[in-house]
Every structure is written in C-alpha cells, then in structure tokens.
Amino acid sequence: MSDPYAPTADDRFTFGLWTVGNPGADPFGRPTRKPMEPVHVLRKLAEAGAWGVNFHDEDLVPFGASPGEREEIIGRFKAGLEETGLVVSMSTTNLFSHPAFKDGAFTADDPAVRALAVTKAMDAIDLGASLGSHIHVFWGGREGCETDARRDPRQAIKRMRSAMDFLCDYVLEREHEMVFALEAKPNEPRGDIYFSTTGHLLHFITTLEHPEMVGVNPEVAHETMAGLSFVHSVAQAMEAGKLFHIDLNAQNIGRFDQDLRFGAADLKGAFNLVRLLEGTMGGFAYHGPRHFDAHAYRTEDEEGVWEFARGCMRTYKILAERARAFDTDPEVIGLRQEFQEDFVSPLLIDYSPEAEAALREMAIDPDALGARGLHLEKLDQIMTEYLLGVRD
Ligand code: GLT
Ligand code: MN
Ligand code: MN
C-alpha cells in the first residue's frame, strides 16, 4: 500500500532556501553545515515531495552581485524550477542582515537607510514576480529598538505605513499580481520589535491605502514567544480574510526563536492549528501555501536536514488525518453540538426594541447555568487519545 502520509502537490508544502539551507550558526557558534547551492535545494525539496520554494532576495542573489552574476544565478535557478516542477510560492526582502539596517529599514531615522530599504524591496518584489511569486512577505526583524530614547514609536508606525503604501502602488504600477503578507515578532534580533503580534498588524493593515493588498503571515514561533495562542491569532486572521501566508514551525514559550520542526513542541497546539487550517473544525479551510519556516537542529548534517524536512510534512499530514478522524467521531460531534439550538444569535444581529424585549423576557436561571458541567474534560481527553493514536 502506498504511504498515506507521502506529500503531494495538493498539500502545498513549501520551504525557504534559508530554512533547509540554514547552516546551523547561532550567536555563540559557527556554522555546523556547509552552505547549499539553491539548485541542489530545489532538487532535494522536489525529491522530498515539497510543492514550492521561497527565498529572500539575498538567498538567491548575494548582496552586491554584478548584473552579469545576477543574470547567471537567476537563469540557473529558473532552469532548476523547470527541471523540478517546484513553484515559487513566496518571496521576501532581506532587510535585516546588512549593517546599514542595524537601526531599522523602513522605520530607520536616517532617510538614506529608508531610501535604501524601499529600493531593495522594489528589486526583491521584481525578482520574486519574475520567478512566479504572488506573495511577498515583510518581516521587520530590525524594525524596533533597544531604547526609545530617540525615536517616537508613533513615527515608526507612520514610516512603516508610508513604505507599505508606496510599495503597494509600486506593485500596481508594475502590474504584478502580488499581495503582501506582514509577519510579526515580539523581539529578536531587536530588544522590542514594532507590530509585535499578528493582532497589531491586523489593525495596522486597516490604516493602509490598499488594505485589500495586504494580509498577514503569522509564525508559530513568534506568536508563542509572546506567550499567545497561535491558534487564536490564526483564527482572527482567517476570520478577517487576512491569512495570506503562514509560517509553520514549533516553539517553546519563554525561549529564543527556536524555529523547530513542525510538531516538535506543543503537539496539541499543532493539532488544533491543523484542524483550523484544514477546516475539519468547521468553517472554511486555508488554501494558501503551508510553509515550514523552520530549520534542523544544529547537531545535524545534511542527511538530518532532509530528515527534518520530511518530518515537517509527515507530521502535518498525520495531524490532518487525526483531525479528520477526531472531528468526524460521532461522540465528538455530539459533545460539540451541545449548544446547537441557538435562539440568541438571530436576536443579536441588529438592535431593536423587540429584540431587547425578547432577550429580557427569557427566563434564564444564572445559577443553573453556572452549576452545569460542560463536558470539556471529556472532549479534551478524547482529543488527547486521538493524538496518542489509541483512538480511531
Ligand atoms: C527570518 C525570520 C523568519 C521570516 C523570514 C522572512 S526571515 O528568517 O526568522 O521568521 O519569516 O523574511
Ligand atoms: Mn517566519
Ligand atoms: Mn522564527
């Protein structure tokens, strides 16, 4: 029998060149793995069953490459895409590595830095578009500070807004079919990063000139670093029609940005996330790329990297299968349906004196409501047993 967990193109699994290509350096130690050629990454990703690939401008074309080198690199990469059938599902701009961006890119106080950042972003957008990307991510890793002594954070917000407005107009002018997905993180590498959570970004987007062109790219690790429920952040983004992209990985609360293999921590959180994305929980599913923004442990050699990549996809598919089983279990359906007879929502659509009167007339006994058991212990235990594989 064929492996039911083998990834297919329909799963839309993607990896960044910087994820599987991560050489294992950390602030205290040098790389433990050799850099990988982008075309080699394409071949190995295709072999593992991924659907797409993502990159920062600099993952592909090193900063400062000559026009000739640039053309040669892009040509080779294009040939690699054709050979493997992988799509470019997302592109992004590296606005954090170069020392020029040490105090921010779009939000920097120095106007020359802001000009450089916007120009670099336009070039990265063009590069992505030329290779088929329809989503451009902005992760403002350096958009923050260690001290608020100089920059008024309101100024930073305004600068970010004008950069986004400018770049949306640029995309429209160039007639690229492209949207933006903004990615939040509370800290690291800056002491504090502006727009620290997905919720902050969801509001910010409503203040843009082209809010329809801009959504979010929540990352498991980043929301978890803030001590928040990733599932709830993603749900809010979906409900707002703003989940344009997602960065899947794993993270323990209170740690540095771990970017662990999907499912390597908080399996229950991952399970509920997959229920949400796959729509087994109810409501609509997410149809965008399922991107693993994670990397292999620093202890691994290249074989370990591909083990890691296969693990991300396999765990997602196992969780999706478990999610379908859980959400179609008659006992689960019964327990979840307890409040199906909803006699209040229709009254709450619009205020009217009649609706008010109807609400006031209901003979509701608060003590009876308070005393009743809600069977969530039972439901949660069933969920645990599905996750542990002892219930089908
Ligand atoms: C960087 C960061 C990721 C972002 C990437 C996109 S850059 O690797 O840690 O979370 O998604 O810019
Ligand atoms: Mn990310
Ligand atoms: Mn991360």
Same-domain pairing of 288 and 334: no
The closest residue, in CA terms, to atom 12 on ligand 1 is 139
R_g (Cα) of the chain, nearest Å: 23
* Total number of domains constituting the chain: 2
| Catalytic residue status for 59 | yes
Q: Is the pLDDT of residue 341 over 90?
A: no
Question: Between β-strands 13-16 and 52-56, what pairing exists: parallel, antiparallel or unpaired?
Answer: parallel
- 3-state secondary structure at position 250: strand
Q: pLDDT, tens digit, for every residue of 68-79?
A: 999 999 999 999
Site of tokens 């959570």: 197
Instruction: Check pocket membership of 137 for ligand 1, CB cut-off 6 A.
Output: yes
Q: pLDDT, tens digit, for every residue of 74-108?
A: 999 999 999 999 999 999 999 999 999 999 999 99
Q: pLDDT, tens digit, for every residue of 207-230?
A: 999 999 999 999 999 999 999 999
Q: Provide the CATH number for the domain around residue 116.
A: 3.20.20.150
Instruction: Check pocket membership of 247 for ligand 1, CB cut-off 6 A.
Output: yes
Contact 347, 355 (CB under 8 A): yes
Read out DSSP for 293-330?
-----TT--HHHHHHHHHHHHHHHHHHHHHHHHHHH-H
Same-domain pairing of 37 and 166: yes
Can you give the residue range of the structural domain that contains 55? 9-318
pLDDT of residue 1: 65
Ligand 2 (single-atom ion) residues, CB below 5 Å? 219, 247, 293
For residue 67, what pLDDT band results from cuts at 50, 70 and 90? very high
pTM for the predicted model, two decimal places:
0.97
Contact 234, 243 (CB under 8 A): yes
Q: Is the pLDDT of residue 315 over 70?
A: yes
Same-domain pairing of 71 and 219: yes
pLDDT of residue 282: 93
Annotated active-site residue in 57, 59, 259, 293 = 59
Same-domain pairing of 193 and 266: yes
Contact 253, 224 (CB under 8 A): yes
Same-domain pairing of 248 and 358: no
